[in-house]
Amino acid sequence: MFPSTRVAAAAMLALIYMCFAGCSRTPPDDPRRPVVAAYGALVHATYEDTLLATRALDQAVDQLLAQPSAETLEAARQRWREARVPYSYSEAFRFYGGPVDAEGGPEPQMNGWPLDENHIDAVQIDSYNAAPGLDIIGDAKAFPDITPELIAAQNEAGGEKNIASGWHAIEFLLWGQDRNEPADSAGQRPHTDFVSSAADDVPARRGRYLKAATTLLVSDLEKLVAAWSPDAPANAPNYRATLTSGDVYTGLKRMLTGMAALAEVEMAGERMNVPLLSGDQEEEQSCFSDTTGSDLRANGAGIEHVYLGRYQRLNGDVVSGPSLADLVKQADPRVAEEMDERLARTRESLAALRDPFDREIQPDNAEGRARTQAAIDALRAEALSIGRAAQSLQIFMSDLEGLGD
């Protein structure tokens, strides 16, 4: 009897083992992960569009410098305007220490403002409230070689308004100072500012500066596209791979933080309330081209892209997937309805702003100031709703104070 009992016991143990082995499983993944994955695809597409449009700007700069004319100057300006739109969308991907604005990230080099123009080029200080600066273009002895590396080194050198690189340095070089002559016009730099008669005269150096600044901007954007590329190798994951495979709570929190900080701190605060209080056009973001209104509308659209999980690319293709909006609707339909209403209100109030923005904020323009204040109020209400959306998902939002640039 003993042998048969031992066999029976062994069989029972084997059966128990097989049962436990068959029933054991890896804990289920967070079902919200597809929302973070869709965000990664949306971010990559937006940066890729920005890079493509900026390369077109770079080509237009080449044409301007090869054959300066009113037509080639206007073509370069138009390429700048077009590239600014997807970049402004992308600012909803900031404020959480991602690739663009982590320590050592390229954001200050790409989008620093406001800038003292005389750091870059000679300007009429007495007529435009411009601070004295290095005049990098005009000082061939101190700065014999104008390169992307020089521009990067001189960005914010000696002061936070000593902006030497990025969108607004390029903007200044294409438009020149905005002297409001006539009142509603942007800067009126003539194409002759790029017509040189000697290899190292000021127009030639101005052209080299413009080319170097554009080259540096393209390089910075290439790094961001790489950081969000879907093709990172498994043994060297990029930021996107780490984000989408990591803690889902952290990914969702970063998405919501980027939205809320752009709406409350950056747009409502730095970009609208500060110039509204001062009435100073030097405090508006794109003050040379007078495209600040377009920047703000694209910023607002970028927030919507993140929340709705949908972005229409420049070529018409649509990138979409599971979204924060889906999660919030499931968690709390009332908050979801409030979010929809406040996104719409912000969109309407930004659309109501009249161009140029520097006329809207003038002390004698009561209607323009009211429109600006309405947009500020809408953005602040939207940020509050983003906070409530986070609460509905049981995500704790950090204090947003001080996140603006």
Q: What is the per-residue pLDDT across 307-340, written as a single tens digit (0 to 9) for each?
A: 999 999 999 999 999 999 999 999 999 999 999 9
The pLDDT assigned to 158 comes to 85
For 318, the enclosing helix (H) or strand (E) is strand 318-320
The pLDDT assigned to 129 comes to 52
The pLDDT assigned to 266 comes to 96
- HSE of 189 in the Cβ direction (CA atoms, 13 Å)? 26
When mean pLDDT is compared across 4-18, 31-45, 52-66, 101-115, the lowest value belongs to 4-18
The pLDDT assigned to 342 comes to 98
Q: Could you give the percent of the chain with pLDDT greater than 70?
A: 89
* Band (26; pLDDT cuts 50, 70, 90): low
**Helices (H), strands (E): how many in the chain?**
16, 2
Alpha-helical segments (H) within 228-280: 239-245, 248-261, 274-278
**C-alpha distance from residue 113 to each of 7, 239, 263, 299, 404 (Å):** 82, 27, 18, 16, 12
The pLDDT assigned to 265 comes to 95
State the pTM of this model.
0.90
**Rounded to an integer, what is the distance from CA 117 to the centroid of its chain?**
22
Is a pLDDT exceeding 80 seen at residue 355?
Answer: yes
How far apart are alpha carbons 120 and 205 in whole angstroms?
11
Q: What is the per-residue pLDDT across 196-248, written as a single tens digit (0 to 9) for each?
A: 999 899 999 999 999 999 999 999 999 999 999 999 999 999 999 999 999 99
